[in-house]
Amino acid sequence: MRLSRYLAHSGISSRRAAEELIRAGRVTVAGEVVTDPARDVDEHSGVAFDGRPVAPVRETVVFAVNKPKGVVSTAKDTHGRPTVVGLLEGFPGRVYPVGRLDADSTGLILLTNDGELANRLTHPRYGVPKTYHATVARPPVREHELKRLREGVALDDGRTAPARVRKLAPDRLEIVLREGRKRQVRRMCEAVGHPVLALRRVGFGPLRLEGLAEGAARRLGPDEVRRLRGR
C-alpha cells in the first residue's frame, strides 16, 4: 500500500498528516529516507518513523474526550501545556487527536490510532457534521445575521459553506459545520458582529457530549465506531 496510508494504518497520524511527515524526511524505508508518500510498502519493507519501526495497528481504538479550557489538542506540546492525550490515564497505546479544538474552546474531541478513520472524519469531502454551542458578545443576534451565517460568510480564506444555525438564547447559538477551517466558528461570528466569548463542541458526527464530565475520557464501543465510519 502507499506509504502515507501505511503510516495511517499504523496509528502515526491521519493520512494527510502522514504525507507531511514523509515530505519532512522523518520516514525511512529499509534505512533510507523516503519523501514520496506514494511509495509502495508492506509489513516487510522496514518502515520507520523518527528511527522507530512502524507496524500496522491490529485493533482500532477511539476515545471521546471532554476537553477543558487551556488543554491543547495535540499529543505533545513543546511549551509544556497539558494535552488531550494526557487526559487518557493508564492507556499504554499511541493515539492522536482527530482534528483540533483551540486551547480556549471546550468540549468533544476524539482520539484514535486509526488514520483512515481520522481522515474520514476530518476530510471536507465526507462532510461529517460538528456541532458547537457559542456564547457571543453584543446580543441579540438578529435574523439577518443568522441568515448570513447559514448561507456562508466571506472570510480571508474564502466563503464558508452553508451551515445549520439556530438561536438558543439572545447570546447563544448552535452552529453545525461540515467543514473544519482554523477557528472557523469564532471567525464566522466575528464577521457578523458577534465575537465569541465561549465555545463548546457538543457533537461530532453521530456522537454527543452528554454524560461525559469535563476532563474525562471514555473508549467508544464497536457500534459507535461503526457509526463513525458511516456503516
Residues annotated as part of the active site = 102
- CA 91 to CA 61: how far, in whole Å? 11
What is the 3-class SS of the chain, one letter each residue? CEHHHHHHHCCCCCHHHHHHHHHCCCEEECCEECCCCCCECCCCCCEEECCEECCCCCCCCEEEEEECCCCECCCCCCCCCCECHHHCCCCCCCCEEECCCCCCCEEEEEEECCHHHHHHHHCHHHCCCEEEEEEECCCCCCHHHHHHHHHCCEECCEECCCCEEEEEECCEEEEEECCCCCCHHHHHHHHCCCCEEEEEEEEECCEECCCCCCCCEEECCHHHHHHHCCC
How many other C-beta atoms can be found within 10 angstroms of the C-beta atom of residue 85?
22
Cell of 205: 458526527
- CA 4 to CA 56: how far, in whole Å? 12
